[in-house]
Amino acid sequence: MRTSEVAAGGAPAPTPEDPTRVAVVVVGAGQAGLSAAYHLVRQGLRPWEDFVVLDANTGPGGAWRHRWDSLTFGAAHALHDLPGLPLGVPDPQEPSSAVVARYYGTYEARFGLPVERPVRVASVSRPPEHDGGALLVRAVDGRAWSADAVVNATGTWDRPYWPHYPGRGTFTGRQLHTHDFRSAAEFRGQRVLVVGAGTSAVQFLLQLDASGARTLWSTRRAPEWTDRPFDPAWGAAVERRVNGRTRAGLPPLSVAAVTGLPLLPEYRAGIASGVLASRGPLRKLTATGAVFADGSSGELDAVLWATGFRAALDHLAPLRLREPGGGIRMGPDGVSVPREPTLFLVGYGASASTLGATRAGRAAARAALRRVPSRIAG
Ligand SMILES: Cc1cc2nc3c(=O)[nH]c(=O)nc-3n(C[C@H](O)[C@H](O)[C@H](O)COP(=O)(O)OP(=O)(O)OC[C@H]3O[C@@H](n4cnc5c(N)ncnc54)[C@H](O)[C@@H]3O)c2cc1C
């Protein structure tokens, strides 16, 4: 195997003409990528020599690194342990961003995981006649890696979804997405429309109200409240539903569309007080406010689009994975992609949670190793 003689020691950086050769490249160091990396080590791959993890962030934590401070550890849903090192019992008042960044950082160090950052992957392709059919991974900064298999674990955070509504460009107030939310206190005294039917929208509405903002809520359909306990049977039912779509090549559903909104005591209180009462679908924005489908309207200072995220997969475009249905057809193991047998997707579809990502990382590491010539592994 040709291994990297670069990076350390000031040697020239690998270029697309002379990429660093590894067995496996993992793209993304969130829950999914770290789980895959752990299992690659367990299966005998040597960090740095046989595989690398390329991560666009400047430090550990994946998407969690960027979440707003009021999303404390106690306010997040359950966070699943990474394999081999329990998270422990963090302070529920501490921001999740700090808890998870610290946990992932410790994890990377403990297992000597070869995370190279910041490296944003611009493309994964299979150029004709390149390195015996290997995948070529190119970074935005010009560096490149050649690999027998690629495990893609790039999550959704980098691809906020902004829906199209008439008038969105003419509204003169502030517009922001969940991706850019920092603190409800910024909106004190303002009239704020929150758009979206997920947990983030619900939590924003309650925080904005508590911070002295006047809120309106718009959802396309009535919010799906549920008092079904979030137990393993429920988890399995959610997975089956999402897997059914991704195996058919359809885009995954949003989390709220699959899970519904848990009727926590604070949400019940918000429903009772009227803060969590949806005005229904939005028809359009005007220069100064919103008009709803029922003909009612409201003047606004800001619109907060809590409209979710899409899988951040633009860099995989050269592999032409999209099906006519708009999604990527996944194999029965939930990580393989029949159109590209040396690429594995983790954190996509049913594995887009810390629990699913952890399990998918293991499956992807095993499947990727089956694509690595035996002379390399071991
Ligand atoms: C607001 C919000 C709250 C959530 N709360 C929970 C919760 O409480 N519990 C739960 O289980 N799940 C939750 N989720 C789901 C969440 O997606 C998963 O928990 C999990 O963190 C996803 O892990 P991941 O590894 O797939 O992705 P991420 O954590 O997003 O990691 C992806 C990594 O890939 C990097 N990357 C992206 N593109 C590139 C590129 N082109 N090149 C190189 N690197 C790249 C990113 O920088 C990032 O470090 C939440 C999601 C959101 C949006």
Would the CA dihedral through 351, 346, 157, 218 be positive or negative?
negative
Mean pLDDT of 109-138: 95
Residue 359 sits at φ, ψ, to 5 deg, of -70, -40
Pocket test for ligand 1, best of 179, 204, 353 (most atoms within 8 A of CB): 353
Lowest mean pLDDT among 136-145, 160-169, 216-225, 368-377: 368-377
Model confidence pLDDT, tens digit, residues 47-71 = 999 999 999 999 999 999 999 999 9
Angstrom distance (rounded) from CA 259 to CA 242: 11
Is 145 in contact with 22 (CB distance < 8 Å)? yes
Please name which of 107, 24, 11 lies closest in space to residue 369, comparing C-alpha atoms: 24
Q: Characterize the bridge pairing of strands 135-139 and 121-125.
A: antiparallel
Query: How far apart are the CA of 346 and the centre of ligand 1, in A?
Result: 11
Atom of ligand 1 nearest to the CA of 120: 42
Mean pLDDT of 286-307: 98
Tell me: pLDDT of 368 over 90: yes
Tell me: pLDDT of 333 over 80: yes
DSSP structural state of residue 364? H
Query: How far apart are the CA of 65 and the centre of ligand 1, in A?
Result: 9
Query: How far apart are the CA of 239 and the centre of ligand 1, in A?
Result: 18
Give the per-residue pLDDT at 1. 38
Atom of ligand 1 nearest to the CA of 355: 11
Atom of ligand 1 nearest to the CA of 347: 26
Atom of ligand 1 nearest to the CA of 314: 41
Helices (H), 248-353: 255-259, 265-273
Mean pLDDT of 120-141: 93
Model confidence pLDDT, tens digit, residues 206-245 = 999 999 999 999 999 999 998 877 676 777 777 777 888 8
- Our measurement of the distance from residue 113's CA atom to the centroid of its chain's CA atoms, rounded to an integer in Å, reads 20
Output the ligand 1 site: residues, CB below 6 A. 27-33, 54-57, 62-64, 76-77, 79, 119-121, 153-158, 200, 309, 312, 315, 347, 352-355, 357
Strands (E), 187-257: 191-195, 214-218, 225-226
Query: How far apart are the CA of 132 and the centre of ligand 1, in A?
Result: 33
Residues contacting 252, CB < 8 A, separation 6+: 242, 245, 246, 311, 327, 348, 349, 350, 352
Residues contacting 27, CB < 8 A, separation 6+: 33, 53, 54, 121, 124, 137, 150, 151, 152, 153, 154, 315
Is 365 in contact with 36 (CB distance < 8 Å)? yes
Query: How far apart are the CA of 261 and the centre of ligand 1, in A?
Result: 20
Tell me: pLDDT of 87 over 50: yes
Q: Give the CA distances from residue 224 to residues 262, 277, 367, in Å, rounded to whole numbers and listed in that order.
A: 9, 12, 37
Residue 244 sits at φ, ψ, to 5 deg, of -60, -40
Please confirm whether the linkage preceding 86 is cis (ω < 30° from 0): no
Among protein residues, the one with the nearest Cα to ligand 1's atom 1 is 200
Element housing 81 (H / E): none
Angstrom distance (rounded) from CA 282 to CA 128: 48
Is 20 in contact with 4 (CB distance < 8 Å)? yes
Using a 10 angstrom Cβ sphere, with 0-12 exposed, 13-18 middle and 19 or more buried, the burial of residue 274 is exposed
Atom of ligand 1 nearest to the CA of 354: 11
Query: How far apart are the CA of 10 and the centre of ligand 1, in A?
Result: 32
Mean pLDDT of 82-96: 95
